[in-house]
DNA sequence: CGAAAATTTGATCGAAGTCAATCATTGTGG
DNA sequence: CCACAATGATTGACTTCGATCAAATTTTCG
């Protein structure tokens, strides 16, 4: 609760981006959430932990990653106006298989599942907001599957650049490579114009 | 509306499977939905069409597929107690990139987006139901991405069998192969125990 | 029963992985 | 404030999994 003004603005952002909330709901939302600013590389969630919170990025960036045979695999990026959490832990109540890490100094809104449930029960429009958020994520996941499934490494990279043109300026290539399901070496070759036919 | 009893049971199934509905909401739901039984191979949605309806499978099976360079790619299966529609067309209002086809003689509940919106506006618990359904699909999509991303053809097939042990009895291998993002030939070799190391 | 559809099997090829070494950039402590 | 360690990215040689092309075989169903 570093800055109540900022929190109000963050809530307005959520409401404007996903689904409008009444002033009444926003007021309760404000009581239920907190705003933080933390430095780059901060780990918000660790593998194996119980996950009770989700994060909405106001300014900055974060990623979700997991370890597969010791290798760091990025599964999700979140930038301004997007949510991030350990999706399995948060929604299924199971221990997190993900880490959530800040990629930049980041200001974010934090809210617990418990408070979300309270708000959902009290306010129809907050439940609606939840539906809109999950719907949007569902659609993002779907198009990612289509992309992964039948695109070459090159095409996958280009598809990502279309959705997130700025990503290479903000995120190390290693994370982009593992997100795309290709190796760092392959990504490097793709990006090198000398290797074009 | 072949069988009003069946429709009532279908609605109970939805409510029991995803999120409880009050009797009042169920009554309105009943007015807004219809029950159909259609034969195998019926196409419910075609590519390019405007999509206004979603389907809940009571008995039977369906798949969503799209054409990529003329090839038939299965993107989604739905069996008993699951929903299916053209996810992009239905949620984004864009022309469908999918076909929806029945894989067996199938009894299903049909409801339009217009009626869903009406029910969502009128009943908080119906909005909640929508949130639960999209949340579940979101989680399914997530674990599918993990599976596609870093599993071998063999592992992907085994992962699918874990979730849907009966699938090979109900669905042609061609569709399973394209769903897994592998060729029919590779799937055939995987399934042949002679090819095991 | 016979045609069409579905599946299996075989031979070959290529995109991307692995392993390994080098080069570049960043940031921290002496 | 520079040095040098650590991290990040590039390049090269070789390998492999699964795709492709082609044909045979099995199953399904009118």
Phi, psi of A3 (to 5 degrees): -160, 100
**What is residue B195's DSSP assignment?**
G
Q: Are B74 and B64 in contact (CB under 8 A)?
A: yes
Smallest Cβ–Cβ distance between A150 and the set B68, B88, B146 belongs to B68
Angle, vertex CA B145, rays to CA B142 and CA B151, nearest 5: 135
pTM of the model: 0.93
Q: How many angstroms separate the CA of B192 from the C1' of D14?
A: 30
Give the dihedral sign, CA B103/B93/B181/B158: negative
| Protein-covered nucleotides on strand D (Cβ within 7 A) | 8-13, 17-22
Quote the CA–CA distance of A45 and A107 in Å, as a whole number: 16
The pLDDT of residue A150 is 81
- Looking across all nucleic acid strands, the nucleotide with the smallest C1' to CA distance from residue B193 is C8
Confidence check: pLDDT of B197 > 70: no
pLDDT band at B26 (very low <50, low <70, confident <90, very high): very high
Smallest Cβ–Cβ distance between A131 and the set B127, B144, B146 belongs to B127
Smallest Cβ–Cβ distance between B138 and the set A124, A141, A149 belongs to A141
Which residues does residue A64 pair with via DSSP β-bridges, in sequence order?
A76, A100
Smallest Cβ–Cβ distance between B137 and the set A68, A127, A138 belongs to A138
- Give CA torsion, residues B88, B128, A53, A160, to 10 deg: 0
CB pair distance less than 8 Å for A141 and B141: yes
Confidence check: pLDDT of B2 > 60: no
What is the full per-residue pLDDT of chain A (197 aa) written as tens digits?
A: 456 678 999 999 999 999 999 999 999 999 999 999 998 889 999 999 999 999 999 999 999 999 888 889 999 999 999 999 999 999 999 999 999 999 999 999 999 999 999 999 999 999 999 999 999 999 999 999 999 988 999 999 999 999 999 999 899 999 999 999 999 999 999 998 655 54
**Chain B residues touching A120 at Cβ < 8 A:** 128, 131
- Looking across all nucleic acid strands, the nucleotide with the smallest C1' to CA distance from residue B172 is C6
CB pair distance less than 8 Å for B139 and A92: yes
**Chain A residues touching B148 at Cβ < 8 A:** 145, 148-149, 181
B125–chain A nearest CA distance, Å: 8
Query: Is some CB atom of chain B closer than 8 A to the CB atom of A120?
Result: yes
Q: What confidence tens digit (pLDDT) does each residue in B32-64 have?
A: 999 999 999 999 999 999 999 999 999 999 999
Nearest residue in A to B182, CA atom? A149
Tally the C-alpha atoms within 13 A of residue A150's C-alpha that lie toward its C-beta.
19
Quote the CA–CA distance of A102 and A161 in Å, as a whole number: 21
A107–chain B nearest CA distance, Å: 26
- Looking across all nucleic acid strands, the nucleotide with the smallest C1' to CA distance from residue A155 is C15
- Looking across all nucleic acid strands, the nucleotide with the smallest C1' to CA distance from residue B195 is C9
Quote the CA–CA distance of A60 and A58 in Å, as a whole number: 7
**Chain A residues touching B134 at Cβ < 8 A:** 131, 134-135, 138
**Chain A residues touching B135 at Cβ < 8 A:** 91, 134
């Amino acid at each position: 609760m570093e800055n109540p003004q900022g929190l109000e603005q963050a809530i307005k952002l959520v409401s404007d981006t996903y689904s409008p909330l009444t002033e009444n709901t926003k007021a309760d939302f404000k009581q239920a959430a907190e705003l933080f600013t933390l430095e780059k590389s901060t780990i918000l969630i660790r593998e194996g932990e119980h996950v009770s919170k989700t994060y909405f990025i106001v300014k900055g960036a974060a990623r979700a990653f997991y370890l597969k045979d010791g290798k760091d695999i990025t599964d999700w990026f979140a930038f301004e106006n997007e949510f991030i959490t350990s999706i399995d832990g948060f929604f299924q109540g199971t221990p997190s298989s993900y880490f959530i890490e800040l990629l930049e100094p980041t200001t974010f809104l934090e809210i617990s599942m418990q408070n979300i449930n309270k708000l959902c029960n009290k306010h129809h429009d907050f439940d609606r907001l939840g539906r809109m958020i999950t719907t949007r994520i569902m659609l993002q996941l779907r198009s990612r599957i289509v992309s992964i499934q039948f695109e070459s490494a090159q095409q996958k990279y280009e598809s990502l650049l279309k959705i997130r043109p700025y990503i290479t300026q903000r995120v190390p290539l290693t994370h982009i490579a593992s997100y795309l399901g290709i190796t760092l070496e392959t990504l490097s070759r793709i990006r090198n114009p000398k290797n074009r036919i």
